[in-house]
Amino acid sequence: MSQTQHPRILLGVSGSIAAYKAAELIRRLRERGAEVQVVMTAHAQAFITPLSLQAVAGQPVRCELFDRAAEAGMGHIELARWADHLLIAPASANLIARLAHGMADDLLTTLVLASAAPLAIAPAMNHQMWSHPAVQENINRLLARGVHLLGPESGDQACGESGAGRLLEPQRIVEQLLGSEHRPLAGRRVLVTAGPTREALDPVRFLGNRSSGKMGYAVAQALTAAGAQVMVVSGPTALTPPAVERVIPVETALEMHAAVMEHIDHCDIFVAAAAVADYRPQAPSPEKIKKHHHEFQLRMVRNPDILAEVAARHPAPFTLGFAAETEALEAHAREKLQAKGLDMIAANWVGGAQGGFDRDENALLLLWRGGQRELPLMSKRQAAREIVHTITERYAAFTARQNFGSPPG
């Protein structure tokens, strides 16, 4: 297999109830920095839709051998040449039989014959099917040709029976395919801010916002899964702290600013996911403010701009900011990207149906100089994995510019 930092994996999905695990497998592969393109058999589409896998892969899913648009330029040959590795998971008994006999009656089996890349299969089927002599004969044929067998495992099956034939868990497939040690951000130090800030009016009241911290915590967890050493500076939340190296709790924007500046010097990447108050009361009352008048005037002063200050450092870490907007999403996000000198920004709508504050889902627009990527509405955990995958790609370009002085891109 290619030893490049971003291995290219062509994932084939065949007809098995375990096909639903393909989405998790794609996420796990991409966490490891892999580029993934998906090919589905006709039977696989009965268990999971191409659109579902397209959303997590970030690439169109191919299903038909005779796709007029793709085949105008012999697209299946181009796809076969693109791959560093072919992985079929799940591999059904039917597909294994067709592979063993060298058939090329759909796009996936044709690609296997047209590619010189190594092939790995992860079988998934009923335990009686797996033990059948015909299946075992087909497996032995494939092994004799150098096909790599991943699993299957033994355990409970969808039919209610138990035995060998379960699809190997996605994480174990990835480890056996790519090795258990390589993670794309291994050794990188990352500082993440998360949650809201609270600005005191008096000992009882504060000015705050609707941020729950869910997006920031999910990104921190996904960065850890990618191998990074992660520290989180967190405003007040009701969430369980993420499993990272250290969590520093703060309350106000000034406290968050102080914590970030204390620890930023040795960080490679800074992710500003916190919703930091732009202003704070100039003079919080030392006593509870009583209700005396029909009107109450409050004088506010600007808080430090933590993100802009970090991005302006020399040298600066790779900086990712977030922009929560109620109108002109892309225009405002691009303005913030440029004005603060950021490397990347993740923008999302708030106050509508597209996720955002204090919700479990989010839809995001990722922007950087010279490129962008849209993430449709998905869970924040899934969105975090997609963000970290893009960070990994952009950070590689960032370090190349730092090392060789190449122009921004």
Q: What residues contact residue 58 under an 8 Å CB cut-off, 6+ apart?
A: 30, 373, 386, 389
Contact present, 388 and 219 (Cβ < 8 Å):
yes
Q: Could you give the CA distance from residue 119 to residue 115 in angstroms, rounded to a whole number?
A: 9
Q: Is 63 a catalytic residue?
A: no
Q: Which amino acid is at 96?
A: I
Candidate list 42, 46, 159, 400, residue with the active-site label? 159
The interaxial angle of helices 170-178 and 22-31, nearest 10 deg, is: 40
Q: What residues contact residue 26 under an 8 Å CB cut-off, 6+ apart?
A: 11, 36, 38, 53, 56, 57
**What does the DSSP assignment read for 89-100?**
EEE-HHHHHHHH
Contact present, 231 and 190 (Cβ < 8 Å):
yes
* 145-168 burial: b if 16+ Cβ within 10 Å, else e: eebbbbbbeeeebeeeeebbbbbb
Nearest-5° angle of CA 372, CA 378, CA 384?
65
Which residue is associated with the tokens 């007029």? 68
Which residue blocks in 145-296 are alpha helix, DSSP H? Answer: 170-178, 214-225, 253-263
Q: At residue 336, what are phi and psi to the nearest 5 degrees?
A: -65, -40
**What does the DSSP assignment read for 136-158?**
HHHHHHHHHTTPEE---EEEE-T
Active-site residues: which are they? Answer: 159
